[in-house]
């Protein structure tokens, strides 16, 4: 093994030193940073996000790279905001990358973008949802994915556009309850929900924050039950989602619909812990998942095939897909800029104009002055028979939405 | 009215869960005089053990109580023998740092071995509920209530009527006098720490059917357990039991009548008031015993 490695190294050196090296090498490479949490508590989904970026790079390089230049990337391990800052500094000043892609977690992205903006290096966010990332007036921060506000708006609008028609009632006649864990995440999303619900004239009868570390949610459930809430909107992490569904069953509370968002509702672990029959009918707003109509998401099936070929398993969550889609959009923009100069890249990103339904996530791409993609939309999914299937909007749906929660 | 009775029932059942966890903490604090900050992590270790026994051998969590209790007894005894004992004559802060360090190490060990995912045992009858006169009682919580009563009664008998129990009480009352009377104090400490951890072992087997386990699950329960222990007078097992009931009721009632996110505020306010007006706790033995 060792001797093979030596031989390979020697061969590589010979090729590199040879004046007859291929044209690609002569034209050089283009260097990007890949900033994700690769270790620590966020590592699982951080790595899942990175895989999407990695597949996009491989695909692009196989097709000749950007402007004939091969893409090379340098990993930065952002375990926490401090390290995100440190790694962003290293990537921009030592490694001199032309742009950074990342980050999965919002707190990491908020910290790292401060560094890259000052250094005048473009930062392409492919997965973090916090709205302020693209609300600080930064020039070189761009984001392809939907934000927390988009999630909240989709949740509220789904009550009007999907749930009320399915129940055959007027939206204003439904009693809506908003429950959320009381950290920054829950506060932010529920805040947007309240505003949107008010705009749309929905009847919100209960707003109940609770600690995500609570070991008993029966008081919350009894409040919802006493108020006769028909539709529950929950913003939660995993543990409290599991607890809510278990205790809802224990207390015999059967609302007409329960809707959540993100990791707490989308992961298989949650469904397994709750039990497929109790999770039946739970609605979920999230990034595009894999049970989505391929007509609305061209490239999705191919992506899953490539993923399986490289990693030997099915994608573990929708994060890889969102990162893959975002990386591809930005690679095209950089190619169109014909330069890695930050201002030229910005000008090219501003010219991107992809209609909805023409990428692997089903999103379009059109960027605001702040760098936010205005055509990214989370879909509405539902747990049916232990699978998470897209049910709304209709173009992306693979199954019809059912009403009611739980089999009992 | 119906809601009130339902909330009171829920509160008592929730209290019995806190009771089993707190009794162990009280034993360790009352006898060994060490504040065990790794108590929540002991619960986490016990829950992973119960999960593994269920996943690998198909054991119901209740059946796994026996091996888990033994395992936790051993863990507690080892911690006392090799971590706390060398530090017994050192400053109290050093002991606190040792248990805090142990807690951090255990959380990260669990992250390394199991990752941040949650694991739960297959659904069982313990998750269901029964209707009694129109009120809903969760079966798993009824089991916990019965076990909490049995645990306190069993410990009471053990402490009052066995030679080892008397030796433990003697050590708790006065270490040096007990030593002079021929009690092997170091051995008593090892046993007492083991027993405290074994109580958590029982708690983890009972909690497992109702809550999924993650590396940080200990932090969900342990802060409440500390409040309960202080409320109950720090060294009193019965105090811990009734303290747990009070916290359970406060939790349940304030979560409904005030707001779910303010229930911690309510019981910490209660906690502060008790510290101000009765610093030795509700069931404390008077000044100087805290």
Q: Taking a C-beta distance cutoff of 8 angstroms, is the pair B225, B18 a contact?
A: yes
Question: Searching chain A, which residue's CA lies closest to the CA of residue B141?
Answer: A250
Q: Which residue has tokens 């992973």? A: B48
CA B167 to chain centre: 23
Q: What is the CATH number of domain A2-146+298-351?
A: 3.40.50.2300
pLDDT band at residue A407 under the 50/70/90 scheme: low
pLDDT digits (tens, 9 = 90+) for A346-396: 999 999 999 999 999 999 999 999 999 999 989 999 999 989 999 988 888
pLDDT band at residue A6 under the 50/70/90 scheme: low
- Please indicate whether residue A44 or residue A295 has the higher confidence score (pLDDT): A295
Q: Which two tokens stand for residue B125?
A: 């009858």
Closest Cβ–Cβ partner in A220, A222, A242 for B6: A222
pLDDT band at residue A5 under the 50/70/90 scheme: low
pLDDT at B14: 93
- Is A221 an interface residue toward B (CB < 8 Å)? no
Is 80 exceeded by the pLDDT of residue A263?
no
Q: Taking a C-beta distance cutoff of 8 angstroms, is the pair B271, B227 a contact?
A: yes
Is 90 exceeded by the pLDDT of residue A230?
yes
Phi, psi of B123 (to 5 degrees): -55, 140
Q: Hey, is A177 helix, strand or coil?
A: strand
Contacts of A326 (CB under 8 A, 6+ apart): A52, A101, A124, A125, A126, A127, A143, A144, A145
Taking the C-alpha atoms of residue A94 and residue A100, their distance in angstroms, rounded to an integer, is 13
- Please indicate whether residue A53 or residue A270 has the higher confidence score (pLDDT): A53
pLDDT at A24: 40
Q: Which residue has tokens 């306190």? A: B152
Question: Searching chain A, which residue's CA lies closest to the CA of residue B208?
Answer: A273
Q: Taking a C-beta distance cutoff of 8 angstroms, is the pair B124, B60 a contact?
A: yes
Report the share of chain B in percent with pLDDT over 70. 97
pLDDT at B284: 65
Question: Across the strands, what pairs with A70?
Answer: A29
Radius of gyration, alpha carbons of chain B: 19
Beta carbons of B220 and A219 less than 8 Å apart? no
pLDDT at A8: 52
Interface-testing mutation among A41, A215, A252, A279, with chain B (most B C-beta atoms within 10 A): A215
pLDDT band at residue A408 under the 50/70/90 scheme: very low
Please provide the DSSP assignment of A126-149 as one string: SS---GGGGSS--SSEEE-S--HH
pLDDT at B283: 73
Per-residue HEC secondary structure of A63-79 comes to CCCECCEEEEEEEEECC
Q: Residue range A118-143: average pLDDT?
A: 95
pLDDT at A14: 44
Interface-testing mutation among B204, B220, B254, B260, with chain A (most A C-beta atoms within 10 A): B260
pLDDT digits (tens, 9 = 90+) for A305-347: 999 999 999 898 889 999 999 999 999 999 999 999 999 999 9
- Is B115 an interface residue toward A (CB < 8 Å)? yes
pLDDT at A269: 82
What homologous superfamily does CATH list for A149-286+379-396? Response regulator (3.40.50.2300)
Mean pLDDT, chain A, rounded, equals 89
Q: Hey, is A205 helix, strand or coil?
A: strand
pLDDT at A266: 87
Nearest to A45 by CA among A78, A74, A72: A78
Q: What's the Cα-to-Cα distance from B70 to each of B75, B76, B198, rounded to whole Å?
A: 9, 10, 7
Is 90 exceeded by the pLDDT of residue A13?
no
Q: What's the Cα-to-Cα distance from B190 to each of A30, B81, B85, B195, B246, rounded to whole Å?
A: 63, 6, 9, 9, 31
Interface-testing mutation among A37, A181, A218, with chain B (most B C-beta atoms within 10 A): A218
Min Cα distance A10 → chain B (Å) is: 38
Beta carbons of B120 and A273 less than 8 Å apart? yes
- Is B123 an interface residue toward A (CB < 8 Å)? yes
Is 70 exceeded by the pLDDT of residue A18?
no
Q: Taking a C-beta distance cutoff of 8 angstroms, is the pair A378, A154 a contact?
A: yes
For chain B, which residues score pLDDT lower than 70? 1, 284-290
Q: Is the peptide bond before A238 cis (omega within 30 degrees of 0)?
A: no
Neighbours of B123 (CB within 10 A): 16
Min Cα distance B111 → chain A (Å) is: 8
Delimiting residues of CATH 3.40.50.2300 domain(s) in chain A:
2-146+298-351, 149-286+379-396
């Amino acid at each position: 093994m060792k001797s093979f490695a030596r031989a390979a190294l020697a061969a590589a050196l010979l090729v590199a030193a040879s004046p007859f090296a291929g044209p690609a090498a002569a034209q050089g490479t283009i260097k990007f940073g890949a900033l994700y949490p690769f270790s620590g508590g966020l590592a699982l989904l951080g790595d899942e996000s990175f895989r999407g970026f990695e597949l996009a790079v491989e695909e692009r390089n196989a097709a000749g790279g950007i402007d004939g230049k091969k893409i090379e990337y340098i990993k930065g391990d952002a375990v926490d905001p401090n390290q995100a800052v440190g790694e962003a500094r290293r990537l921009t000043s030592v490694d001199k990358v032309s742009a950074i892609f990342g980050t999965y977690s919002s707190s990491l992205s908020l910290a790292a973008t401060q560094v890259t903006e000052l250094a005048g290096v473009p930062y392409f966010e492919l997965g973090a949802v916090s709205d302020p990332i693209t609300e600080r007036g930064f020039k070189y921060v761009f984001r392809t994915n939907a934000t927390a506000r988009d999630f909240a708006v989709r949740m509220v609008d789904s009550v009007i556009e999907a749930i009320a028609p399915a129940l055959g009632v007027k939206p204003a006649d439904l009693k809506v309850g908003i429950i959320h864990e009381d950290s920054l995440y829950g506060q932010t999303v529920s805040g947007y929900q309240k505003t949107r619900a008010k705009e749309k004239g929905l009847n919100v009868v209960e707003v109940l924050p609770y600690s995500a570390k609570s070991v008993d949610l029966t008081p919350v459930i009894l409040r919802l039950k006493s108020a006769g809430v028909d539709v529950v909107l929950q913003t939660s992490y995993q543990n409290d989602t599991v607890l809510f569904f278990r205790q809802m069953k224990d207390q015999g509370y059967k609302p007409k619909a329960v809707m959540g968002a993100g990791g707490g509702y989308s992961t298989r672990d949650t469904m397994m812990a709750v039990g497929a029959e109790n999770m039946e009918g739970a609605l979920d707003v999230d990034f595009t998942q894999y049970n989505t109509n391929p007509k609305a998401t061209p490239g999705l099936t191919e992506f899953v095939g490539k993923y399986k070929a490289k990693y030997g398993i099915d994608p573990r969550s929708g994060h890889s897909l969102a990162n893959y889609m975002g990386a591809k959009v930005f690679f095209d923009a950089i190619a169109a800029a014909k330069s890695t100069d930050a201002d030229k890249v910005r000008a090219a990103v501003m010219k991107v104009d992809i209609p909805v339904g023409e990428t692997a996530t089903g999103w379009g791409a059109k960027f605001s002055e702040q760098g936010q993609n205005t055509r990214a939309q989370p879909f509405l999914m539902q747990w049916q028979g232990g699978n998470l299937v897209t049910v709304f909007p209709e173009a992306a749906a693979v199954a019809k939405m059912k009403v009611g929660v739980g089999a009992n | 009215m119906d809601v009130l009775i339902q909330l009171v029932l829920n509160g008592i059942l929730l209290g019995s869960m806190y009771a089993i966890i707190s009794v162990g903490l009280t034993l360790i604090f009352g006898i060994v005089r060490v504040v065990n900050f790794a108590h929540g992590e002991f619960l986490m270790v016990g829950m992973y053990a119960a999960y593994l026994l269920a996943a690998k051998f198909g054991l119901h969590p209740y059946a796994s109580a026996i091996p888990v209790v033994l395992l936790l007894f051993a863990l507690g005894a080892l911690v006392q023998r090799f971590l706390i004992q060398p530090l017994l004559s050192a400053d109290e802060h050093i002991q606190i740092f040792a248990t805090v360090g142990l807690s951090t190490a255990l959380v990260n060990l669990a992250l390394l071995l199991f990752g941040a995912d949650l694991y739960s045992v297959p659904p069982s009858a313990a998750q269901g509920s029964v209707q009694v006169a129109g009120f809903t009682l969760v079966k798993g919580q009824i089991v916990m209530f019965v076990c909490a009563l049995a645990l306190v009664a069993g410990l009471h008998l053990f402490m009052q009527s066995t030679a080892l129990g008397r030796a433990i009480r003697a050590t708790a009352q006065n270490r040096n006098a007990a030593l002079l009377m021929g009690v092997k104090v170091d051995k008593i400490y090892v046993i007492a720490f083991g027993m405290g951890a074994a109580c958590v072992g029982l708690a983890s087997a009972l909690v497992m059917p109702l809550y999924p386990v993650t590396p940080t699950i200990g932090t969900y329960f342990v802060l409440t357990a500390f409040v309960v222990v202080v409320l109950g007078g720090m060294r009193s097992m019965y105090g811990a039991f009734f303290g747990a009931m009070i916290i359970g009721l406060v939790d349940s009632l304030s979560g409904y009548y005030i707001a779910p996110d303010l229930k911690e505020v309510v019981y910490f306010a209660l906690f502060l008031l008790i510290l101000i007006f009765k610093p030795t706790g509700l069931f404390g033995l008077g000044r100087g015993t805290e």
